[in-house]
Amino acid sequence: MATERTILKTQVGIVGGGPAGLMLAHLLAKTGIENIVVESRDHETIRNTHRAGILESGSVKMLTDTGVDGRVLTHGDEHAGIDLRFNGESHPLDFTDLVDATVTLYAQNEVFVDLASARARDSGDVRYSCEVTAVFDLETETPKFHFTDESGNGFEVHCDILVGADGSRSFCRRAVPGTQDFKIEYPFAWFGILTEAPKSAPELIYANSPHGFALISQRSETVQRMYFQCDPNENTDDWSEDRIWSELQRRVDGPDGFTLKTGNIFDKTVLKFRSFVREPLSHGRMFLIGDAGHTVPPTGAKGLNLAFADVKVLFEALDSFYATRNDALLHGYSDLALKRVWKAQNFSYWMTSMLHTPVDADPFMAKRALGELDTVTSSRYGQQYLAESYTGWPHS
């Protein structure tokens, strides 16, 4: 017996209620474009999933200039540079001096909290704990999808435009055959911790060492996030606090005597990553944004920023479509978004290969990476390239 479904009609149906999906919904609602957001996870799960976040100034402006709560300004931690550390020595890069730009540390789950609050404040239709079971009629003027809510009620959404914002395991992406996927797997992962400790340094430290990569980051004045390169199959239960601190310290050791400030570790995780791009980012009247269409290793701090860049391009295309009924910008969405995606893929791959120690400990590759780091840090032009890429290119 077929499941009876309630028909819902809207202009834009968005599958995925993370930061990308909610930001798009927020922008659309501000211009009077109706939308429904359907998310598989519950609100509290997303809110309590700790994920680092480094926001480009353009991403900060998207939040603040469009009426989302300004906590990113009051709770975010603005940074004017990073330190590249290799051969036991730190080499500061001053982004403000190099390219007149900064970045802001603000966790992705906090971005979600702000956007979810804005949608609730504005009476947005956002439905959590829902399972999407089908997307279809994508090549018609009325794409559709089925979902079931947490009470078991079935729905069929009819929309003009369907957006897949449902993350790296995207149901929407997997529903479309005959497209091209580009991907590489990395032979290492990051062992990440959250610790109750003061800041070890004023800026983020990206460290290349013979023992592997380490990132000394911050979260707040009293909570810090740090990572070190590890095997993708590493078990966090095998690592005591003493062992973790010893491993992190030996990766930043140097003649300057730099010492990490330690504290209680209250979260441990192994973060696997890859580089992935789906081409094109559209199929008929379905459009992919964020991790649904592409993922990058975290070394270049591009993930959430790329998602927001997708949102900006797609929103402008949708705004034009509903204002003029001309779909030229919608047809150009994938090509325009992919230009920035591939720039970010290049930068993220470059940073990853330059900073990580080869798994097979190949001495040539290790020395080559040190030569590259020396080239970058000894040249203002090299520093400017890294600074411009890290802080974000101008939006088209």
**Residues designated as active site:** 79, 206, 298, 302, 390
d(CA 281, CA 156): 24
Tokens standing for 312?
């900006």
d(CA 53, CA 290): 14
Cβ-in-10-Å burial (0-12, 13-18, 19+) of 168 comes to middle
Closest alpha carbon to 334 in 318, 320, 314: 314
Tokens standing for 53?
């976040």
Closest alpha carbon to 279 in 165, 183, 138, 145: 183
